[in-house]
Amino acid sequence: MPVNPGYCDCDTVLYPTFPLKKTMRAFLERQQYLIDYTLAALLRRKTRNLGLLLIYTLLVFLFSSVLLLSQGVRREAAVLLQDAPEVIVQRLVAGRHDLLPAAWLDALRRIRGVSSARGRLWGYYYDPAVKANYTLMVAPDRELAKDEILIGAALARVRQIGIGDYFGLRAADGQPMPLKVIGVLESASELLSADLMLLPEPSFRALFNFPPDVYTDAVLTVRNPREARTVAEKIALALPDSRPILRTEILRTYDAVFNWREGMVFVCLGALLLAFVILAWDKAAGLSAEEKREIGILKAIGWETGDILRMKLWEGALLSLTAFLAGYALAWQQVFHGGARLFAPVLKGWAVLYPDFQLTPAVDLQQVLVLLAVTVLPYIAATLIPSWRAATADPDAVMRG
């Protein structure tokens, strides 16, 4: 009978005799058996594992929601602030912010590296009716008639007003100043414009009783943005009462604000994490008598300690990765498509005005890996350690029932 050098008849099927291929095939078959057994084991303890899976998923969902939301807001703010002025100059009097004389604008324009300088008028207005601060600003690029205003979407929502309605402010002389809403600012910029009210310069000066030769601050453009810091140093030298603020510093401030808020939420979630760790340790680490017996049987019928650990590794990995993926996917849906209602009041809050905007979905691989390491690895370790202890014992106990 001719012999096929590639095959030999073993175990009633034709096996390739190439050792590497055969070993690899046996390895894959073994992993498949272990996964099958693990799935069956998980299903056999349905109630326990389902409960654990639900709590685990909830925990990953909460942590992922905070991370995705705070990072999304930071990213959104950074994108919007890209259009912010490169340098802002304020005037300080005894360390306190004060109005900036219009004459400073010429002095600023003369500084080498500055290409333009423009005075800005803005301020905060407290509205006792809704107990919220508005940001009032003179529209830089919009020509508005004397009694016309544009308002942010959150402000329109909270005061329940729209285009054509009148909005009454109380001026510095105590007289009411009625202003007509002629537009609501687009929601794409709501992160920064939620509480914004744009009004014409004469109305602004009349409202706050500002003389015509002062501004709140000045914004500069510089010829070479990389030299913004050098320009700022020159300004500080030329105008000793000035305080130049760079765009990067504004970005850093936003970052710090969101980091702080994120930190506060994490402190609160920390208690939950601790509760989960205790629960997971109890459920995963405490092998039941039934599980110990099962490990004994498997060892007695020819499983190695390594096989049992691999099976337990699969068990921990399947449960924790399922929980991780489900929790992360739910958080993604909630944050990017569900309006992030869960943590928005904490992470997006502007007094009582909450910006309503859609975050752009994005994945930060480093963030995913950290979350994976914090949630999945401890659980797998909690599963493996007791199993290793049980699996290294002699299996003879099983002979004694």
Binding site for other proteins (CB under 8 A): 11-13, 15, 25-30, 32-34, 37, 40-41, 43-44, 290, 293-294, 297-307, 392, 394-396, 398-401
CB of 49 to other proteins, least distance (A): 13
Q: Which two tokens stand for residue 191?
A: 């992160």
Name which of 30 and 337 has its Cβ closer to other proteins: 30
CB of 273 to other proteins, least distance (A): 32
Name which of 11 and 83 has its Cβ closer to other proteins: 11
CB of 299 to other proteins, least distance (A): 8
Q: What separation in angstroms does the CA of 298 have from each of 49, 233, 313, 331?
A: 21, 75, 16, 40
CB of 395 to other proteins, least distance (A): 5
Residues 6+ apart with CB under 8 A from 166: 178, 179, 180, 181
Strand 196-199 versus strand 132-138 pairing type: parallel
Name which of 199 and 298 has its Cβ closer to other proteins: 298
Q: Which two tokens stand for residue 29?
A: 């078959």
Contact criterion met (CB below 8 Å) for 273 and 378:
no
Residue 24's Cα: distance from chain center in Å?
Answer: 42
What is d(CA 349, CA 158) in angstroms, rounded to the nearest whole number?
14
Name which of 302, 322, 304 is nearest 387 in CA terms: 304
CB of 16 to other proteins, least distance (A): 11
CB of 70 to other proteins, least distance (A): 44
What is d(CA 45, CA 62) in angstroms, rounded to the nearest whole number?
26
Helices (H), 281-364: 289-300, 305-332, 344-347
Name which of 11 and 106 has its Cβ closer to other proteins: 11
Residues 6+ apart with CB under 8 A from 67: 262, 367, 371
CB of 45 to other proteins, least distance (A): 9
What is d(CA 299, CA 243) in angstroms, rounded to the nearest whole number?
75
What is d(CA 208, CA 122) in angstroms, rounded to the nearest whole number?
10
Name which of 201 and 307 has its Cβ closer to other proteins: 307
For 262-270, the CB contacts below 8 A with 24+ separation are: 262/66, 262/67, 262/70, 262/347, 264/346, 265/66, 265/70, 265/343, 265/346, 265/347, 266/63, 266/66, 269/62, 269/63, 269/66
Name which of 34 and 149 has its Cβ closer to other proteins: 34
Name which of 98 and 294 has its Cβ closer to other proteins: 294
CB of 310 to other proteins, least distance (A): 9
CB of 300 to other proteins, least distance (A): 6
Residues 6+ apart with CB under 8 A from 225: 86
What is d(CA 400, CA 201) in angstroms, rounded to the nearest whole number?
93
Name which of 27 and 126 has its Cβ closer to other proteins: 27
Name which of 116 and 392 has its Cβ closer to other proteins: 392
Name which of 298, 393, 335 is nearest 63 in CA terms: 335
